A = this chain, B = another copy of it.
Amino acid sequence: MTEMSLDQLDCPVPQVDDQRVLLGHGSGGRLTAELVRRLFLPAFENDVLAALEDSAVLNLNGLPTSQASRLAFTTDSFVVKPLFFPGGDIGRLAVFGTVNDLAVGGAEPLFLSAAFIIEEGLRMESLTRIVESMRVACQQAGVELVAGDTKVVDRGKGDGVFITTSGIGLVPKGRSLSVHNARPGDRVLVSGTLGDHGIAIMSVREGLEFETLLESDAAPLNGLVQAMLEACPTIRFLRDPTRGGLSSALNELAAGSQVGVKLEESAIPVRQEVRAACELLGLDPLYVANEGKLIAVVPGEVAESLLDAMRTHPLGRQAAIIGRIVDEHPGMVTLKSALGGQRVVSMLSAEQLPRIC
């Protein structure tokens, strides 16, 4: 094993014009994190927002204190391009994205809202397909869409349609999954192959063709999460690695828990087509978005039994233990390569794949 090169930490950050918003501010990586930390957190100072979880967990004072559950609340805008892609469309993504944010927060997703910002001239047939796809997705995830809004902007001031979904769920009493919970000795698991969604989108945009059709992995994770929590109630942290991929999610965990994360490259499941496309496009699968995968952190002693439970669920068949939590290099994620070298997996700074979700 070679020494980890610390100056990789000083990896070049693209020159940033501080005066304007860049595509990278929407990457889910370092620029997004900076924007949140510098601008949004100071403005809306409260503990719930500052926790930086994927969904807010709320105590409602108006409800009896004997209540069994707390409320989870989350929001996400979807601006994916193109609107339709192999394995899904913007509507399916908008439903599952919000369902998954609730699920990985430990909540049972219940209700969604959807707000549409439509560009004048969108084909009514496209909108109808998207809405139908959302209907099916809601059924699949077992949630009800109960509130909505429609705005139309002039031609050339939008791009087809943007959809913002918000979601409400219930977190059972005593359940606490958090980015602050990881402890040295814990194991890191993923539920399946990484990078499928991002590469499916890119392959359409770039006109790539593969022998097999590469599809987005867009899927509702609440069923898998429920099975996992039943099998292993001591799960510490769950996250769906969307924008910014595995790397962003684990860097947030490392920072939030002040621990190190050590990954084994050879253990990380990546489809052959995804690997090939990444090489072609100069991308790293650890940074590519997923829309139907999750990361779990659990105490080492239950990692194997959790893995077994995940593999019995259709969405977890290719689950794997990919690394562990260590007390070395707190706040940092490292990867032991197949060749034995070790490198830092830093957070994505700029935009790798704009408008991927």
Binding site for B on A (CB under 8 A): 18-27, 32, 35-36, 39-40, 43-44, 46, 48-49, 55-56, 58, 60, 62-64, 66-69, 71, 73-79, 108, 110-111, 113-125, 127-128, 131-132, 134-135, 138, 144-154, 156-159, 162, 164, 166, 168, 170, 172, 351, 354-355
Contacts and interface: CB of A to CB of B under 8 A. Distances in A.
A9 B6 CA distance: 75
Main secondary structure of the interface of A (DSSP, over half): mixed
A48 B144 contact: yes
A150 B64 contact: no
Contacts of A75: 113-115, 147-149, 164, 166
A354 B154 contact: yes
A170 B108 contact: no
This protein's copies in its complex: 2
B135 A44 contact: yes
A107 to B, nearest CB: 10
A238 B117 CA distance: 26
Contacts of A20: 120-124
A170 B68 contact: no
B19 A110 contact: no
Nearest to A171: B62
Given A44-B135, A149-B75, A118 B69 contact: no
B43 A73 contact: no
Nearest to A355: B153
Given A43-B131, A164-B77, A64 B62 contact: no
A80 to B, nearest CB: 10
A187 B153 CA distance: 36
Contact of A32 (B150, B153, B154): B150
Contact of A79 (B26, B117, B122, B146): B117
A122 B25 CA distance: 11
B63 A68 contact: yes
A17 to B, nearest CB: 9
A174 to B, nearest CB: 13
